[in-house]
Amino acid sequence: MNALQSARTETEVPFYATPLGVWGIVALWGALHLLLRALSTPVLGTDDMFENVLVQTLEPGYMLRQPPLYEWLLWSAQQVFGPTIWAALFVKYSLISVAALFLFLIAREGIRSPRLAALCAFSYSLYYQFGWNLHEGVTHTVVLTTACAASAFFFVRALQTGSLSFYLLFGAAAGAGLIGKHSYPIFAVALLLAALSDSGWRPRIRLSGMVLVPLAAAVVYSPYGFWILTEGLQLFASVSQTMGVASETSHVARAAEGLGKLAFGLVGFSVLLVPVLLLLFWPRYMGRTEAEVPAVNDVARLCGRTVVAMILLTAVMIAVTGATYVKERHMHPLMLLLPVYLFADLERFGFHRQWRWLAALVAATVAVVFFARVPGLVAPDRFWCGGKCRHMKPYADIWQPLAELGAETATLVAVDGYTGGNLRVLFPGARVVTKAIPARVPPRDKCFFVWEEGDDRPDIPAGQRFADVAFASPGTPVSATYLTGSWPHLWKEEGWRTTWWGVAELDPQEALCR
């Protein structure tokens, strides 16, 4: 009886190591962070505020610098939640849970133990960019991460089964990646190169299936593709400006700078996960233990080769183009499949106690990150949440005076995206415009220009200050005034920190308002 129970324990898969279990745990993790953030403050932070201005309408394309899949998802969520932080967080954590599911499915193909495959999926939280940074920033990168994870899984299944259905799904995922972020094609090419370079995978590539991939991707991409055609070659000019390839600096100097940033970004992105693995499993890396299995399986090997191909392709592109806009937060597709390879490799050595330590460390890190966010939400001073603490700025205090002026149905011209995005939270029925984002909705009968003045009380009249901060033929304001808001704090008195905004009413016929 004891032997039978022992055998069942070895063969039975716990719920947390099933696809539904992994998805559910990550979804619950996301829901807790969503509630923590959304119930603490309605203010939009980095990236979300810009997107909130952009998606006032549903369009086939919004800008040349970024494709529109994230905006489509956000617009859809806003039909339920309104233009609020709830919509932005719902999209973000929903995508992350889907990405975790696909990463687990890939890990199950590359790692024998389902428990270890689940731990691999959960261990992505040890990547700083996953475990911490995505909570306040990251928009299109979440779409890219999900598309890459789905692409990798469907590509593996297509090669394993030869099924044309999986090739079509791979093509659809590739199309989603293409309308998710312009950098996605590098990942798809890296997958293909990894398979072509491997004698075990190369014969499994089905030519008829590969023909279907670009067709499926083209169908998904077509709405944005048509929009791109109407914009001509401006896309390439936009991308060159963004990537830092349009510069007077010599090509060699730019390429060297870009390659240096790539190396730094790869090292920075690896923290905390890779150093922890090196520390816990040092006998494997120091050659102090014998492997129980000669080599990783085909899927894990493909993941490792894809990581190498991604890094090499990115390095070649930087060397050729001289791109310098390379940051740690751009490394998601490069390092996405690395944990699967590392865990599969370590599994060969039969570690047991170290895996328990790693699981405990992952759980502790998740808990620490959650509670570490609390002080910045209840005590938003520079000690707890850094210098700007944008997510706690007291926009709510200017709602009533602006509403009394008639802002609820007016055109609100904001000096920047932070102000514009949060004005739309306050006034969902208003038409919001910024310098970088022209409005696609009709002008209104009232028009206000709103700018953030800072934490110090202004010492010059609002009308005079308006002339300094306005852009594009501002005209003469009908009236101008200052509004102020008091920052919240758990134990400090009201008024411990204030922020001032300027508001100028303009003739609705002014160019700014049209």
Residue 496 inside a domain? The answer is yes
Q: Do 36 and 155 fall within a single domain?
A: yes
Residue 33 inside a domain? The answer is yes
Residue 23 inside a domain? The answer is yes
Residue 228's CB: how many other CB atoms inside 10 A?
Answer: 17
Q: Do 423 and 294 fall within a single domain?
A: no
Name the nearest CA neighbour of 63 among 167, 153, 179: 179
Tens-digit pLDDT profile for residues 485-512? 999 999 999 999 999 999 999 999 988 8
Q: Do 145 and 226 fall within a single domain?
A: yes
Q: What is the DSSP code string of 27-90?
A: HHHHHHHHHHHHHH-----TTHHHHHHHTTS--S---SSS-SHHHHHHHHHHHHH-SSHHHHHH
Q: Do 355 and 440 fall within a single domain?
A: no
Q: Do 88 and 137 fall within a single domain?
A: yes
pLDDT at 2: 40
Q: Do 153 and 213 fall within a single domain?
A: yes
Model-level pTM? Answer: 0.92
pLDDT band at residue 6 under the 50/70/90 scheme? very low
Count up the domains in the chain and report the number. 2
The three state secondary structure string of 229-242 is HHHCCHHHHHHHHH
Tens-digit pLDDT profile for residues 235-294? 555 555 554 555 567 888 888 998 999 999 999 999 999 999 999 999 999 988 888 888
Residue 382 inside a domain? The answer is no
CA distance 454 to 479: 20
Residue 494 inside a domain? The answer is yes
Nearest 5°: phi and psi at 113? -80, 125
Nearest 5°: phi and psi at 484? -135, 150
For residue 437, the enclosing domain spans 393-513
Q: Do 350 and 482 fall within a single domain?
A: no
Tell me the average pLDDT of the chain. Answer: 91
Tens-digit pLDDT profile for residues 123-177? 999 999 999 988 877 899 999 999 999 999 999 999 999 999 999 999 999 999 9
Q: Cβ(186)–Cβ(310) under 8 Å?
A: yes
Which of 308, 338, 372 is where one domain is finished? Answer: 372
Q: Do 98 and 220 fall within a single domain?
A: yes
More confident residue, 451 or 435: 451
pLDDT at 289: 87
Give the mean model confidence (pLDDT) for residues 296-306: 96
Q: What is the DSSP letter of 493?
A: P
Q: Do 232 and 122 fall within a single domain?
A: yes
Q: Do 186 and 273 fall within a single domain?
A: yes
319 burial via Cβ count (<10 Å: 0-12, 13-18, 19+): middle
Residue 379 inside a domain? The answer is no
Q: How many residues does the chain have?
A: 514
pLDDT band at residue 387 under the 50/70/90 scheme? low
pLDDT at 247: 55
Residue 397 inside a domain? The answer is yes
Residue 384 inside a domain? The answer is no
User: Within its chain, how far is the Cα of 65 from the centroid?
Assistant: 15
Structure tokens of 350? 């039969």
173 burial via Cβ count (<10 Å: 0-12, 13-18, 19+): buried
Structure tokens of 504? 């100028």
pLDDT at 248: 63
Q: Do 218 and 158 fall within a single domain?
A: yes
CA distance 114 to 14: 9
Q: What is the DSSP code string of 78-122?
A: HHHH-SSHHHHHHHHHHHHHHHHHHHHHHHHHH-S-HHHHHHHHH
Question: Pairing relation of β-strands 498-506 and 479-486?
Answer: antiparallel
